[in-house]
Amino acid sequence: MMEQVKVAIVDDHEAVRLGFAESCRAEGLNLVASSPTVDELIASLGSNDCDVVVMDLSLDDGSSVTDNVEKLIATGSAVLIFSIADKPVLMRAALRSGALAIVPKSQPMSHLAEAIKLAAEGAIINNPETSAMIDADSNFKEANLSAREREVLSLYASGLSLKQVAFQLEIKQSSAKEHIDRVRVKYAKLGREAGTKVDLYRRAIEDGIISGDLL
């Protein structure tokens, strides 16, 4: 039996949080935390793992969407934006900060559940709202790497072996290899060569994951 995806939600409307909790039960998702702010969610999670955090764009505490996304990614969670999708500037900022996709609140819960499962797998999420934001932002880096994939790529492209990457991140070497394999697939789908370590070094520099000079 497959392990349930661990998911959390940040939304300042209690009705949305309650509705999301009910939908998680129906969709077979494991809701591990629900909070009105990112800081409260992180405190609630503590040392517990969370695969995906679903977050509203604008929260009543006045926090920045950029800061919120970056804080959540720093915990190791993938981030999805669940919003009415009427603030393109904020949506682009969320994507540039590392959110994987925009899912409008007008969509059925089944669409959000599918995006959550894809995000947990580290897959690319293609939907019209996300594509529109990417197309409108010429500075956006399209690879949509997860936080862990970026972390592994950063170390690997900087010269470490897979064994050294695994040791530094305290993960199995096979897991490090799986992350690099997924990174290669994502770049390949965008027509960006990533077959060799030199290719990955170039992609990491182009996308601001590491600093250095292009070979």
DSSP assignment of 119-180 equals HHHT-----HHHHHHHHT-TT--TT---HHHHHHHHHHHTT--HHHHHHHHTS-HHHHHHHH
Average pLDDT on 203-214 reads 73
The highest-level CATH class for domain 6-135 is alpha beta
Q: What is the pLDDT of residue 136?
A: 61
Average pLDDT for residues 2-7, to the nearest whole number?
Answer: 86
pLDDT of residue 134: 60
Residue 212's pLDDT is 62
Q: What is the mean pLDDT of residues 140-155?
A: 83
**Fold (topology level) of 147-206:** Arc Repressor Mutant, subunit A (1.10.10)
* pLDDT over 90 at 20, yes or no: yes
pTM value surpassing 0.75: no
Lowest-confidence segment of 104-108, 119-123, 194-198, 204-208 by average pLDDT: 204-208
Picking from 38-52, 54-68, 151-165, 194-208, which range would have the lowest pLDDT averaged per residue?
194-208
Chain segment 172-186, per-residue pLDDT in tens: 999 999 999 999 998
Under the banding of pLDDT at 50, 70 and 90, the label for residue 1 is very low
- Residue ranges of domains in the chain: 6-135, 147-206
Rounded to the nearest 10°, the torsion over CA 134, 135, 140, 146 is 30
